[in-house]
Structure 1
Amino acid sequence: MSLQLDRVPRKKVAIVGSGCAGIAALWALNRTHHDAYLFEAANRLGGHTNTVEWRQSKFKAMVDTGFAVFNTATYPNFVTFLERMNVPTLKVNEPTRPIEMILDTSPDNSIFQWAWASLRAMLGQGGNLFSLRAWRLIFDIVRFNQFSVDLLREDDVYGSSAMSEKTIGDYLYREGYSDAFRDDYLIPLMASVWCTSPDEGVLDLPALAFVRFMRNHHLLSTMAEPGWRTLEGGAKSYIDAVMRGFPPNHLFLKTPVKHLTNDETGRVRLHLENGKTEVFDHVILATHGDQAYQIIEPSATEEEKAIMSAFKSVERTCVLHSDISYMPKRRDAWSSMNSISLSSPWVHRDIAGKSLTYNMNILQHIPRRAFGDVLVTMNPIRPPRPETVQGRYSYAHPVYDSATVRAQKVLPRIQNTRGISYAGAWTSYGSHEDGFTSGLYVAKAHLGARLPFELVDSASRQGEHKLGLVDLFLRAIILLIQVFVIDFFGRVLKGSRVKSLVHANGNANGKKSSWR
């Protein structure tokens, strides 16, 4: 329950970290009588919100290399904030998730590419209309969207303890989903939504958290898609709006915090890397989870150590470039987001050779005629051509596993203790909305900030997923296809392979005996 502001004495508050959580907390506290200070280790504000210049001859455009798009359905608090601050936004005119795909292979079969486009475009190119792989991929997408929510019902029946240890990789194997669905749809999809590399960790995510995240973000709807938008002038525009009028002597860039301690009165001492010490009544650690742990570790309680040590992050590289070899070979197959992987799609492959490229011409309305191809690639499978590169950036992203989910559930035990609050996307599912909401929440709940709108719990707002008549009918059709088509042909093909192997071994043995 939030405190009433008039009951909260004026406090000197430090916010450590200027990502979405730190900026949100600062905006909320700016509306109070508290005295807020902002510390940032980097030489700029924003964290993943990093808008940079793209230069092409005499033209200049602003491009987002980290956080770039949001939607009106699953970012309720962020959207309301933008409206309150009169920050202009633009509609993204193309789908930004892989409902259907265009499949394309290079002549030497060493590269597999797809773009996120329409079903008609997918089936109308490259012989995909007659491709069993393409049809199986579509079937598995529809099947997953319909049946994965059953995991949430199982959790209601058996409890979180029974479900929390199961990974999404385990679930896909148990239910018999195809390699194409796993490697070419689900992994790139979650990499784009969570802004992580497609090559690590996705299959180890807890299945329950995975499906709940997808449901809450409208990613289990086969046909409908929420309206996606981008910020006019780049995502940095909302940070500029918050910082307008903020006292310059309360902002400390290039000032890393080494650790913190409590003095004899309970106040919090921030020990800075430059050797200075600052004292505050309250500190909001709006850094990554593992960074927050490093800051509190020297003075942490055993409970704080047990909880915070479970949060980890990993660095990812993003490259701003114009190398179109990262896009599908056919320009009419280009979409807002494009995945590329090394090796052939027709044989088993290691998913380590995957990268995701954002077409910023589409996402941010950047005219190609004036600026050329403007691309941002996450986790490049090979370096883009040097002459096409205009910038390289590194961003840390939360790592999610069963230990992380358990730690998130008990994090409230240490919130607002010892004068310390924790905020960041890592406290929830990792989206910009999650981070922004966490910053608003700690300012409201721990320091009495009054927000000009009702704070929405984006993690649980959809409630129970109920099946309608259309869902039941579609499920029946899917089960019939699964049993009488997919499973039947699977058994036939498996039997044919066994017979071929037996025949081949027999011939080999016969030849060997004859030779003897």
Structure 2
Amino acid sequence: MSRQHIAVIGSGISGMAAGYYLSQHHDITLFEAADRLGGHTATIDVALDGRDYAIDTGFIVFNDWTYPHFQALLAELGVQSQPTEMSFSVHERAYDFEYNGHTLGSLFAQRRNLIRPRFYRMLADILRFNRTAVRDLERGRLDAALTLGDYLDAGGYGEDFRHRYLLPMGAAIWSASIRDLMDFPLTFFVRFFKNHGLLSISHRPQWRTLVGGSRAYIPALTAPYAEGIRLQSPVEGIRRHADGVEISSRHGVERFDQVVMACHADQALALLEDASDSEQAILGAMPYQDNEVVLHTDTRLLPKRPRAWASWNYRIDGRGESARVSVTYDMNILQRLAAPHTFCVTLNDSASIDPRQILGRFSYAHPCFTLAGQAAQARHGEISGVARRTHFCGAYWRNGFHEDGVWSARRVAMALGDTPRPADESSDTCAEAGSVTETPA
């Protein structure tokens, strides 16, 4: 294919990776509305008590099972990572209930749980769900039309298992609400949990973080097309023609040979001035929700007992639809920080945080996964690269995580004839879910 001038819209992992792959044979111009690169790759510099720290507030972790393309990219770029602990706790203040499932000792961090029959019933439900869900998945007995809530109802799983274990864990992973989790596609959820070792007590992947913060990979990833990067350049409109694509921005109206839409589905649809019926239907079926993220040092958002502190800490206040729920990441554990302060990142619970201990406020949008959205993901080939010189790229086409962003970028590059399929493609344990995915992406 002859050298082309390609516009990439958005500088999250999908856009940066697409630019990296395509820059080998094409001229790249990357448009980013913000004043920085990275999207959810957002490392914040903090100076506190005479010491400097780099704290991640968006993308934080990856693992050695289900991130083959992202790991290969890091190796190619020479970016270092380090092992981390991926533990999970739940604490419910009104009932003084808490546990951390990382070890047997932390599981009973609250000693009273040793004599609570309902705690053992929850543990029994966990073991039953792990065993049954894996068996049903492997035997093809999961109905693609069912939601996770349908499956839990049919299985008679208890309230504690749902609201003190499974749903909080899923909500923490996808930055979603409990209600959203109940509506998740069943096969999507179970396959993801199995592939990530979350349905196993002992056989689990090694999770890792990037040394110096998640932004560490950005300079090397964008170096090949650095001259074509335009920050603070929001695209105002896109119109396709038979011989090119017109893009309107503060730089005027410019013509490109191809455009890669590496922004969110709803953003891509809003930018297309001539969206087809298929584009409207497919992109419109994959909505996003905003999540407020606060970086702080208020450890009251963690369990009351320090021995129950985990990498991910899910908090429940109240019961029913009015319950306040939030997740707090202990960044000292995740990033292996040696500091006199405990740095926390909390989603959607800023009112509970001492304002004097807040170091920064941010907002990140995450995709919502539904049965309709899962069906839309499978229709990518109907709108991407088929005609009109337009290619759709993003983690939302899969599971919503960094691996999925790189995978999507590779798919676009391969459609343009630029990147050969890697030898380890068959080892991608998320491949099944790809036909349909951190912690924040």
The TM-score with structure 1 as length reference comes to: 0.79
The TM-score with structure 2 as length reference comes to: 0.92
Q: 1:364 to 1:58 in 2, by over 3 A?
A: same
Q: In the TM superposition, what is the alpha-carbon distance from 1:111 to its structure 2 partner? A: 6.3
Aligned length: 432
Q: In the TM superposition, what is the alpha-carbon distance from 1:66 to its structure 2 partner? A: 0.5
Between the aligned partners of 2:285 and 2:183, the Cα distance in structure 1 is 15
Q: 1:142 to 1:40 in 2, by over 3 A?
A: same
Between the aligned partners of 1:244 and 1:191, the Cα distance in structure 2 is 36
Partner residue of 2:102?
117
Between the aligned partners of 1:266 and 1:111, the Cα distance in structure 2 is 65
Match of 2:114 among 108, 122, 129: 129
Between the aligned partners of 1:386 and 1:200, the Cα distance in structure 2 is 29
Partner residue of 2:437?
none
Partner residue of 1:295?
271
Partner SS, residue 377 of structure 1: strand
Q: 1:171 to 1:193 in 2, by over 3 A?
A: same
Partner residue of 1:269?
246
Between the aligned partners of 1:121 and 1:114, the Cα distance in structure 2 is 7
- Superposition RMSD in Å: 2.2
Between the aligned partners of 1:414 and 1:270, the Cα distance in structure 2 is 19
Instruction: Say whether 1:36 aligns with 2:24.
Output: no
Q: In the TM superposition, what is the alpha-carbon distance from 1:91 to its structure 2 partner? A: 1.0
Between the aligned partners of 1:462 and 1:68, the Cα distance in structure 2 is 21
Partner residue of 1:329?
304
Q: 1:199 to 1:391 in 2, by over 3 A?
A: farther
Partner residue of 1:510?
none
Contact map agreement 1:216 1:460 (CA 8 A) in 2 = no
Between the aligned partners of 2:284 and 2:92, the Cα distance in structure 1 is 43
Match of 2:13 among 4, 13, 20: 20
Between the aligned partners of 2:145 and 2:100, the Cα distance in structure 1 is 33
Instruction: Say whether 1:238 aligns with 2:214.
Output: no
Q: 1:188 to 1:328 in 2, by over 3 A?
A: same
Give runs of aligned pairs for residues 359-378 of structure 1, distance below 5 A: 359-369=330-340, 372-378=341-347
Partner SS, residue 366 of structure 1: coil
Q: In the TM superposition, what is the alpha-carbon distance from 1:52 to its structure 2 partner? A: 0.6
Between the aligned partners of 1:133 and 1:363, the Cα distance in structure 2 is 31
Partner SS, residue 30 of structure 2: strand
Unaligned runs of 5+ in 1: 1-7, 464-516
Q: In the TM superposition, what is the alpha-carbon distance from 1:259 to its structure 2 partner? A: 2.3
**Percent of aligned pairs with the same amino acid:** 36
Between the aligned partners of 1:27 and 1:254, the Cα distance in structure 2 is 20
Give runs of aligned pairs for residues 173-188 of structure 1, distance below 5 A: 173-188=153-168
Contact map agreement 2:4 2:257 (CA 8 A) in 1 = yes
Partner residue of 1:165?
145
Partner SS, residue 291 of structure 2: strand
Between the aligned partners of 2:141 and 2:299, the Cα distance in structure 1 is 50
Contact map agreement 2:54 2:212 (CA 8 A) in 1 = yes
Q: 1:403 to 1:294 in 2, by over 3 A?
A: same
Contact map agreement 2:13 2:402 (CA 8 A) in 1 = yes
Instruction: Say whether 1:388 aligns with 2:373.
Output: no
Between the aligned partners of 1:124 and 1:34, the Cα distance in structure 2 is 56
User: 1:95-153 CA deviation, whole Å, 9 max, x = no partner?
Assistant: x144xx5x6554xx366544343123323633111111211111111111111134435
Unaligned runs of 5+ in 2: 435-441
Q: In the TM superposition, what is the alpha-carbon distance from 1:226 to its structure 2 partner? A: 0.6
Amino acid at match of 2:337: I
Partner residue of 1:254?
232
Partner residue of 2:125?
140
Q: In the TM superposition, what is the alpha-carbon distance from 1:428 to its structure 2 partner? A: 0.6
Q: 1:268 to 1:462 in 2, by over 3 A?
A: closer
Between the aligned partners of 2:50 and 2:155, the Cα distance in structure 1 is 55
Between the aligned partners of 1:294 and 1:229, the Cα distance in structure 2 is 36
Between the aligned partners of 1:173 and 1:65, the Cα distance in structure 2 is 35
Structure whose CA Rg is larger:
1
Between the aligned partners of 1:151 and 1:283, the Cα distance in structure 2 is 42
Between the aligned partners of 1:421 and 1:352, the Cα distance in structure 2 is 41
